[in-house]
Chains A and B, each alone.
Chain A
Amino acid sequence: MRLPDLRLPEPRLLRARLAFALLAALTLLCAAGAARAQTPPVHEPFSKTLRYGGDATSGAPYTFKDPADPDLTVGFEVDIMNQLGRELGRKVEFIQNDWSNLIPGLNAGLYDAVINGLEITPEHQAAADFTIPYYVTYGQIVIRKGDPEVAGLEQLRGKSVGTLKSSQMERVLRAFGGIDVRSYEQEIDAYSDLKLKRIDATVMDFPIAVYYAQPDDALQFTGTPVGRIEYGIALKKGGDPQLLASLNSGLSQMMQDGEMRKILDRWALWTPMMAQVTGDNRPLQAQPEAYTHFVEATQPRGLVAQLERYARFLPQLFWAAVMTMEISILAMILAVALGAGLALCRVYGGTMLDRVAQVYIECVRGTPLLIQVLFIYYGLPKIGVQLDPFVAGVLALGLNYAAYEAENYRAGLLAIPRHQMETAIALNMTEREALRHVIIPQAARIVLPPTTNDFISLIKDSDYFGTGLLVAAVYLLLGLPFVRLARWAEKHVSRGTVRTTGRK
């Protein structure tokens, strides 16, 4: 599974478009299951606990790992959800998921709601239901310290401006016209390009600017707020109107009773828009201790402090590595067993089994692993099969590698002279006995090196769950012609080595 990133604090990714494209692809994959999507929600027994999805690796101040103690998941959204739980009298539970998979996970029933800086835009509303905004904010212009102040977007015309890819701010900047918009996957890249004078300014969501630009001595805030951004909690489209209503009333309550104000003050995120929405014009209601804590924990204070900060993540890395190994070993056991079975079907199984095994192998080899992982993890729940992430990982990798192992083992079996089987039969062994005592022990020696090879590559693949759909599509395009080519080559190479008549 994904190891936590060493670059800390990790920036937030707004890859909304990818997420929704992925959703479309999955819907396609699960067409059969989706036709019968009337199956009752699988999470019924847990309905007392409100489970919310988010990506704790996506960055401050939304939902992230406390840099001082990576075992803790913190963020202003975490505080909001906890408070919301108190207001509604429900337990809340955080469920980690990759950012780009948050909405598919919602639809698969892995959790009841998503809170992770999702903007309430018509495009997003088409894919999920949204609560009333829990936070209203704006785009903050940031420039290098000492550069001339910028009053607003007007003065950024003709300049190059960095922002987050697929975010609402990106659309605002592009729609404004005359601005050379540079979109970034990660906010720290935008800020470092700004410091390196590769771009002239950045415009990103105010919370990002507060946490990544404000503590930086080389950067400064400038100008008036740009646009208006509303974050909402996303629910499965049409899935649970009751939950939507109760979250809405919980959020209004928090705005009325001042709890929201306290949380946002602790995180130093109060905005004029929030004052307008809540009618709360009082001065600061709480010390910005969460912000101060973050800045203290992340400000570079010499190499030793830096290394110490990294070292705090070592236990997490260790356990992630252990988990990766566990998944890899179990998946490999599955792959070897199933692969051997498939290979035997192909070589000794007769026409029917050969056919079945061939179809399995071609389907698995012809589609990217990522799609298979997503299918097992998000597709199967649609037809009522919900698997533990660990089990899903083992299954996905095991089933995938089995196809490759099968072809290795088939080559191994074919490398054993045909006469060996014949001799064993002549000694009155059954085909099964001959395979077990004569053929398989010899083939096993031949296929050991390629199997070791595959195990190493499997360990690497078990770290590969989070890659984007784009990569998957490219793999599919690249992979299919090669499957064809390989089959053609095999046909030609094996001419004269495959006996066509004689004993069956």
Chain B
Amino acid sequence: MQPILRVESVHKSFDTTQILKGVSFQIEEGDLVSIIGPSGCGKSTLLRCLNGLETIDSGTIEACGVRMERKPGAPEIPDEIAHRLRRNVGMVFQQYQLFPHKTLIQNVMLAPMVVKGVKLDEAAANAERLLRKVGLYEQRDRYPINLSGGQQQRGAIARALAMAPKIMLYDEPTSALDPGLVDEVLDVMKELDAEGMTQIAVTHEMRFARDASDYIIFMEKGDIVEISDEDEIFTNPKDPRTRQFLRRFA
């Protein structure tokens, strides 16, 4: 089977600091993958590269048939390619980042109308459907400031889904939430997994990584140390660095 996402020797530096040192992996359609690792290991940067928020220095990223490739020393990849790549890749951030000047439903409707030229009625209908899915239909006319963190994050997921992506990326989606609100967000992700959505989450939520993920990518110092089935990595990590990292969560 053709992988839905293929990453090959991606390099990325900020100034002189190497953040990604030739990362490669691939993901099949419908997988839910967790990326774990210590702070500063490059996992967030990797995620941001996957939908073109960061330009890569060299390497290949191919998602849903859109190929973004840069040879070492080659000129920057034009915005146009990143734009095409993002058509299939949605992203949710740690701090939700709903647009504060718009109501919840307007947040969900905005991008389809602006980017795809979807008509108002159609956008509203689709937004209502998505808000129902994440359990926020009743709150659709509230402004973000009047929503809890968990509600805002579910709203952000609905907003990303409105662009009909084939892959969803999550950058620590529950890190800013009160412990009691974490599950409502993770439940939405599990539900999407059940529907067959391909999802990649950078997370510190080891329980979620273990329970929900199809497999786990462990990163350290800009590279992938171990890719493993979720049970195996927790019960029998092959790499000593993985073992050391997980000991802190035991």
Tell me the A residues contacting B by CB distance below 8 Å.
417, 419-420, 422-430, 433, 437-438, 441-442, 445, 501-503
Q: Which of B15, B83, B97, B101 contacts A428 (CB 8 A)?
A: B83
A427 touches B160 (CB 8 A): yes
B87 touches A428 (CB 8 A): yes
In the complex, the chain A residue whose C-beta lies closest to that of B96 is A423
A433→B111 CA distance, assembly (Å)? 9
In the complex, the chain A residue whose C-beta lies closest to that of B76 is A504
Tell me the B residues contacting A by CB distance below 8 Å.
14-15, 51, 53-55, 79, 83, 86-87, 90-91, 93, 95, 97, 99-101, 110-111, 114-115, 159-160, 163
A-B contact pairs, 15 of them (CB 8 A): A419-B95, A420-B99, A423-B99, A426-B51, A426-B86, A427-B110, A427-B111, A427-B159, A428-B83, A428-B111, A429-B111, A429-B114, A442-B99, A502-B54, A503-B54
Q: Which of A423, A428, A445, A501 contacts B93 (CB 8 A)?
A: A423
A428 touches B99 (CB 8 A): no
B99 touches A438 (CB 8 A): yes
In the complex, the chain A residue whose C-beta lies closest to that of B83 is A428
B114 touches A419 (CB 8 A): no
A420 touches B111 (CB 8 A): no
A420→B83 CA distance, assembly (Å)? 17
In the complex, the chain A residue whose C-beta lies closest to that of B97 is A423
A420 touches B97 (CB 8 A): yes
Known: A430-B79, A438-B99, A501-B14. 15 other contacts (CB 8 A): A417-B95, A423-B97, A423-B99, A426-B51, A426-B93, A426-B160, A427-B163, A428-B83, A428-B163, A433-B115, A441-B101, A442-B99, A442-B100, A503-B54, A503-B55
A428 touches B54 (CB 8 A): no
Chain A residue numbers with a CB within 8 Å of B83 are 428, 430
B101 touches A425 (CB 8 A): no
Chain A residue numbers with a CB within 8 Å of B97 are 417, 419-420, 422-423
A423→B90 CA distance, assembly (Å)? 10
Chain A-chain B contacts (Cβ-Cβ < 8 Å), number = 59
Chain B residue numbers with a CB within 8 Å of A437 are 110, 114
A437→B102 CA distance, assembly (Å)? 10
Chain A residue numbers with a CB within 8 Å of B51 are 426
A428 touches B115 (CB 8 A): yes
A428→B111 CA distance, assembly (Å)? 8
Chain B residue numbers with a CB within 8 Å of A441 are 101
Chain A residue numbers with a CB within 8 Å of B114 are 429, 433, 437
In the complex, the chain B residue whose C-beta lies closest to that of A417 is B97
Q: How far is the CB of B89 from chain A (nearest CB, A)?
A: 8
In the complex, the chain B residue whose C-beta lies closest to that of A422 is B53
Q: Which of A419, A426, A430, A501 contacts B90 (CB 8 A)?
A: A426
Chain A residue numbers with a CB within 8 Å of B79 are 430
A442 touches B86 (CB 8 A): no
Chain A residue numbers with a CB within 8 Å of B163 are 427-428
Q: How far is the CB of A504 from chain B (nearest CB, A)?
A: 8
Taking each of A423, A426, A429, A441, which has the highest tally of chain B beta carbons within 10 Å of its own beta carbon? Answer: A426
A258→B101 CA distance, assembly (Å)? 79
A437→B114 CA distance, assembly (Å)? 8
Q: How far is the CB of A445 from chain B (nearest CB, A)?
A: 7
A442→B99 CA distance, assembly (Å)? 9
Q: How far is the CB of B230 from chain A (nearest CB, A)?
A: 27
B101 touches A445 (CB 8 A): yes
In the complex, the chain A residue whose C-beta lies closest to that of B171 is A426
A429→B99 CA distance, assembly (Å)? 14
Chain B residue numbers with a CB within 8 Å of A420 are 97, 99
A182→B101 CA distance, assembly (Å)? 65
A317→B88 CA distance, assembly (Å)? 66
Given A419-B95, A501-B15, A503-B55, does the pair A427, B101 have CB atoms closer than 8 Å? no
A503→B95 CA distance, assembly (Å)? 18
A442 touches B55 (CB 8 A): no
A429→B163 CA distance, assembly (Å)? 11
Chain B residue numbers with a CB within 8 Å of A425 are 53
A427 touches B115 (CB 8 A): yes
In the complex, the chain B residue whose C-beta lies closest to that of A420 is B97
Chain A residue numbers with a CB within 8 Å of B90 are 426-427
Q: Which 3 A-B residue pairs are closest in the complex by CB-CB distance?
A: A427-B111, A423-B97, A426-B91
A430→B160 CA distance, assembly (Å)? 16
Given A445-B101, A502-B14, does the pair A428, B95 have CB atoms closer than 8 Å? no
B93 touches A419 (CB 8 A): yes
Chain B residue numbers with a CB within 8 Å of A433 are 114-115
In the complex, the chain B residue whose C-beta lies closest to that of A434 is B114
Q: How far is the CB of A461 from chain B (nearest CB, A)?
A: 32
Q: How far is the CB of A435 from chain B (nearest CB, A)?
A: 11
